[in-house]
Amino acid sequence: MKQEIKKAVLDVLMASIDKGNYGMLSIREASYHSYKILATEKVQIKGNNIMQDGKLVGVIKRRYSSRKVQLMYKELKPCIVWS
């Protein structure tokens, strides 16, 4: 798998995690270039799976903080297992 695709997936994933953690106060946004790479390479993130042309190419292992911050467990940077 190309390095560009891996970086684009991580960029989009981190933006969605930030949005989930902080809501409308989040400051991180995925770049247009990342979305463009994912669209041209036909890569989709469905739940915890990363699919390319309908084939499984990676699995997302989500991690959460061990302590509550602002009454919730924050999601941390995920581990992505590429196949």
Start-to-end C-alpha separation, the chain: 9
Burial class (CB in 10 A: 0-12, 13-18, 19+), 50: buried
Read off the pLDDT of residues 32-49 as tens digits, 9 standing for 90 and up.
Answer: 999 999 999 999 999 999
Query: Taken in order 73, 75, 79, 81, is the CA torsion positive or negative?
Result: positive
The percentage of residues in the chain with a pLDDT greater than 70, rounded to a whole number, is 99
Query: What's the whole-model pTM score?
Result: 0.89
Confidence of residue 66 (pLDDT cuts 50, 70, 90): very high
The percentage of residues in the chain with a pLDDT greater than 90, rounded to a whole number, is 92
Question: How many of the other CB atoms lie within 10 Å of CB of 34?
Answer: 20
